[in-house]
Amino acid sequence: MSERNTALRSMHDLGLAAWFGGSLMGAVGLNSAARAEGGTWRNTARIASAGWAKWTPVNAAAIAIHLVGGSGLLAANASRVATQKGVAASTVTKTVLTGAALAATAYSRILGKKIELASSDDPQDMEKAAEHPIDTDKAQRDLTWVQWALPVLTGGLIVLNALHGEQQRPAEQVQGMLQRASAMTPWSGKL
């Protein structure tokens, strides 16, 4: 009924931990430090942009590792998803939440890059920014919201991961499979 998937679980959990922790630290620590030290909007944006740009490749790797681990766990637990009551619903919810977190991450990077270009002193960046002018106030507001949405979404994934762990207990597996089988049997309501 249960087999070990230590490498996949480790990839899933470590990738998610980095995604959650990095987004929370960035929203709380990096952005606050940039505001405290920047003095002007341009300097604040440059400091924050530099920090987020350094984090981007690490974050991308963490997300990729999480997705590989999660996909592997889904494949390894496909029979439980199909036969244990409640597992499919929590898996669908987790998949939707993962998609929302991925979308928020991508949107955050797009907004962050626009602000990075708009605040740069580099002539090439200034030229790119001039070709695609943005409302920096609106972009900054949107970025603030999405950067706070990321720890909320990834935190939700951590909670669902805890639920999946509870659903893997042997007693939960047996009970869930019996409930699913009972619900699918045509005569189950006639006893």
Per cent of the chain over pLDDT 70 is: 87
What span, in angstroms and rounded, lies between the C-alpha atoms of 85 and 177?
6
Given a contact cutoff of 8 angstroms between Cβ atoms, the answer to whether 125 and 116 are in contact is: yes
Token pair in block for residue 148: 């706070």
pLDDT band at residue 25, thresholds of 50, 70 and 90? Answer: very high
Of the ranges 58-62, 110-114, 134-138, the best mean pLDDT one? 58-62
The predicted pLDDT at position 104 comes to 98
The predicted pLDDT at position 180 comes to 56
The predicted pLDDT at position 170 comes to 63
Given a contact cutoff of 8 angstroms between Cβ atoms, the answer to whether 97 and 156 are in contact is: yes
42-51, 104-113, 162-171: segment of lowest average pLDDT? 162-171
What span, in angstroms and rounded, lies between the C-alpha atoms of 171 and 188?
21
Token pair in block for residue 80: 């439980």
pLDDT surpassing 70 at residue 68 = yes
Q: Please provide the average confidence, as pLDDT, over all residues in the chain.
A: 87
Query: Model-level pTM?
Result: 0.83
Q: Furthest-apart CA pair in the chain: how many Å?
A: 79
pLDDT digits (tens, 9 = 90+) for 131-146: 777 888 899 999 999 9
Of the ranges 71-75, 112-116, 171-175, the best mean pLDDT one? 71-75
Per cent of the chain over pLDDT 90 is: 63
